[in-house]
Homo-oligomer: A and B are copies of this chain.
């Protein structure tokens, strides 16, 4: 006999796990709505050409592609930005700007499953189109912060690391030529994961000189209190692009809460399409991967065939977030037991018991015996599913119209008419 299994890196959520997950998603969704972000629902399947348009061919290795049926070359989304951008472009003429959209859904990546990383995962994705102002950057970052605060995290539990691509590339450009800036940014992005030796090796593989390598190390070590770092940077000889980036950061900082925000020049978010602000939020103790990340990509909508449109957004995956909640003892505690179990005492009163259950179900979560079990077995079952109350229905109850209700937590019993319950 074959024993079927769930695909590698893809999780089954049983009722208890699903209840926790749902409570987390409900909180995220409520937070996004409070910021007047509106929920959209793009397809899970997109054309492969859409998914590879901004990130190039290399992402193809991570994408689950569908076998061709007909002429369409389709794939499972590895992220939400392309689908959102496609939807924006299709209706951009009639949409009132700024457009603020979010979704919570599944995405897929073919990579080695490990702690905090799976092949099928959920993600909250939020995008804001149409504003190039620091207010929009701040809105995205504050939304991400509030998502965490509303889940119960304290501001000291996490750290928000912001940076600006213009500032970073401007600083790099003072020692490294234009054609190597992207390479240098990717190296900086990896710097926190590499030892000093590994960093130097990778730099020399990319044909950077020792002086360039040392300059990159210096840049990527600029992190900490934003005003101190800005002070350090302002002492440097800045290219115009770096000046512009620094100005953006200063405007943004005025709009952000002080406590948990750091300026961190080692954050560059890998992808070449970011054009301005970039940020990540991580747990303060750095035990886990980044909990969320995002930034500004003012050229992205053009890639998808739309008019030049400023855009900023972020994504927050469920895997690291759940580990973080667990670590802080903040996983929602959900009771999945029904409000009432209607215990039926005799075969003659079954229809009456069914009617009681039906009435209660207008308001409550109600279970009733479906196995023609004797009363004792019914009560064992009610106990094992953690029913909060048991209602007894027998011939006495039918005659008197008074139901005996037992609170299973306190053991207290009382008699009530059905009308008093609904």
Question: Residues of A with Cβ closer than 8 Å to B?
Answer: 1-8, 10-15, 17-19, 21-22, 33-36, 38-47, 49-50, 53, 64-67, 69-70, 72, 74, 76, 82, 86-87, 89-91, 96-98, 101, 106, 108, 110, 120, 128, 130-131, 133, 135-136, 139, 142, 146, 254-255, 304-305, 336, 338, 351, 354, 358, 361-372, 381, 384-385
Q: Are A3 and B305 in contact (CB under 8 A)?
A: yes
- Nearest B residue to A85 via CB reads B4
Chain B residues near A361: list those with CB within 8 A.
Answer: 34-35, 146
Choice from B17, B39, B43, B67 contacting A67 with Cβ under 8 Å: B67
Listed residue (A33, A38, A363) with the most chain B CB atoms within 10 angstroms of its CB: A38
Bound CA–CA A77/B14 (angstroms): 18
Q: Look across to chain B and name the residue whose beta carbon is closest to the beta carbon of A51.
A: B4
Residue of B whose beta carbon sits closest to that of A380: B96
A89–B4 contact, CB under 8 A?
A: yes
For the complex, give the distance between the alpha carbons of A5 and B101 in Å.
Answer: 19
Docked complex Cα distance between A43 and B11 (Å) = 6
**Complex partner residue of A64 from B66, B97, B106, B367, CB under 8 angstroms:** B66
Which of B21, B43, B305 is in CB contact (< 8 Å) with A120? B43
Bound Cα distance from A3 to B365, whole angstroms? 48
Once the chains are docked, how many angstroms separate the CA of A320 from the CA of B276?
Answer: 46
> Which residues from B are CB-within-8-Å of A6?
42-43, 46, 86
- In the bound complex, do residue A5 and residue B47 qualify as a contact, i.e. CB atoms below 8 Å apart? yes
Residues A98 and B370 in contact, CB atoms below 8 Å apart: yes
Which of B21, B38, B338 makes the CB contact (< 8 A) with A41? B21
Closest chain B CB from A126 CB (angstroms): 13
Residues on the B chain within 8 Å of A36, using CB: 338, 365-367, 385
* Nearest CB in chain B: distance from A355 CB, A: 11
Smallest beta-carbon distance A408→chain B, Å: 15
Contacts of A91 in B (CB 8 A): 14
With a cutoff of 8 Å between Cβ atoms, the chain B residues found around residue A10 in the complex are 43, 45
B34–A366 CB distance below 8 A: yes
